[in-house]
Structure 1
Amino acid sequence: MRGEIVSALAEVLRFYQRVGFELFPFKFNPIVLAPDVAIEKAKKLNALHQEIGDCKRCPLHQGRNNIVFGEGNPDAKLMFIGEGPGEEEDLQGRPFVGRAGEVLTSLIKNLGLKREEVYIANVVKCRPPMNRAPKPEEQKACLVFLRKQIEIIQPQVIVTLGDVATKALLQTRSGITSVRGRVFEYKGIKVVPTFHPAYLLRNPSRKKLTWNDVQKALNLVK
């Protein structure tokens, strides 16, 4: 139990350091800066990560280098969900660190936020071969963990990035072009779908629409 608390506290402290707290007073009591709720959420996320373990629940495990669990503020008010890791994400074990990640990071910065202040995850945690869209059975095997992440973090607003994430979370058949920019709900949490950053690399003319969507999402955060 003590080890879990120390591990969770360390994760919260790393978060605060990433958002600008580089040095702390000599007699600093970390509990003052790291609220109990953030520590508890970090503990639960760590436990969930361990539960996934060396996952072999679907064929995607066969070609992976790393499970890409997700990262960010365990007590984030704004959460971004994509479809799955790409090549660079698979190598680093982190979500959205390739070219599409640069687009997402830029969007987040333009909102006046840092990546470390939001939470970023994907529908599937392992890279689909050749970056194809994850199959329904692959999504089903992994969706339970995404739902648990959302349940733990309890963000106020979720931005679903692209067709796969939107359909998986909202259980809809409607394509992204018909639902983007609209406000939906998932278990009481506001959801704003928008285009996937990888799509914006191929269709830069859609960046303005995406910017409008993420601004709408931010405005829903209280």
Structure 2
Amino acid sequence: MPSLDPAIRDALEARLRFYRELGVTDFYRRVVGPSQTIIAAFETDTLNAPQEGTPIPPRKPMQSLPPVAPEVAPTDRASALQLIREDIGDCTRCALHKGRNKIVFADGDPNARLLFVGEGPGADEDAQGLPFVGRAGQLLNNMIAAMGLKREEVYIANVVKCRPPQNRTPEPEEANTCSPFLFRQIDVVRPEVIVALGATAATYLLGQRQPLAGLRGRIHSFRGSKLIVTYHPAFLLRDPRQKKEAWADLQIAMRELGLKAKSS
């Protein structure tokens, strides 16, 4: 099959992202000519409750999770995390390294009780080498403050540590290659609560692909921590109506941590 014109490919990718943000999860192809194909929505999921884009289904079974590592003493956690960063090195394990500026490892307290996991770095993160420093990061900072915490009191990481081109969803091979480093970080920090920000983080932490509506509002278990799923801040910027729902998710985390909302 001949390759698509780059402009057509970019337009199709933008359209697919648009549908995913509406909750469309499956597509069919309708042949209209010997060399033409139209991609159309086939099945949608609760358009009344928009959700963050659903990741591309894995092309092969998700790799087995590595065993939970032995607990690291709080005084040694910063050093243990630095060793993980050194293991990553100047990573070339997947194709994402070709377009990155900086590896975005993590940010925050190695002894945090609360850990946030996002999808991957954006342009601002790629430039600074820190997670969630752009507009979505500012919103996440506000969410953390509303929980009665400071950013430096939590730990923040992503499923992949290099920016995907045009901020697209990480491919399964990319996420499966990079996520074991995230699991090692989680094993070192040993947070009481993990908040998965968006469908991609939820998919690769829980090992299952479900609409966010089926994962939100309850407590999951992951590597000895309680895991709560909510919307990605970038999605909340596009659809502020869902901030109330995200706040309800964060309140679950707060109850588990014994936190009280910051008084206004």
Give the TM-score normalised by the residue count of structure 1. 0.82
- Report the equivalent of 1:17: none
Partner SS, residue 117 of structure 2:
strand
CA shift for structure 1 position 179 = 1.1
Q: Distance in 1 between matches of 2:137 and 2:199?
A: 17
Deviation per CA, 1:140-183: give whole Å up to 9, x if none: 11011000000000000000000000010001111212211211
1:200 aligns with 2:244: no
Partner SS, residue 68 of structure 1:
coil
- Partner residue of 1:162 out of 191, 198, 204: 198
- Report the equivalent of 2:78: 42
For the Cα contact (< 8 Å) 2:196–2:202, is it kept in 1? yes
Higher normalized helix content (fraction of residues):
1
Q: Distance in 2 between matches of 1:209 and 1:51?
A: 38
1:62 aligns with 2:98: yes
CA shift for structure 1 position 187 = 2.2
Partner SS, residue 120 of structure 2:
coil
- Report the equivalent of 2:220: 184
- Report the equivalent of 1:89: 125
- Partner residue of 1:218 out of 225, 248, 254: 254
Q: Distance in 1 between matches of 2:179 and 2:146?
A: 30
Unmatched segments (≥5 aa) in structure 2: 1-71, 259-264
Root-mean-square deviation (CA, aligned residues, Å) is 1.1
State, as a whole percentage, how many aligned pairs show the same letter.
52
For the Cα contact (< 8 Å) 1:83–1:122, is it kept in 2? yes
Task: Kindly provide the amino acid, as one letter, of the partner of residue 167 in structure 2.
Answer: N
Q: Distance in 2 between matches of 1:133 and 1:189?
A: 25
Aligned pairs, number:
187
Q: Distance in 2 between matches of 1:63 and 1:158?
A: 29
Deviation per CA, 1:43-85: give whole Å up to 9, x if none: 0001111110000000000000000000100000000000000
- Report the equivalent of 1:105: 141
- Larger Cα Rg: Structure 1 or Structure 2? 2
Higher normalized strand content (fraction of residues):
2
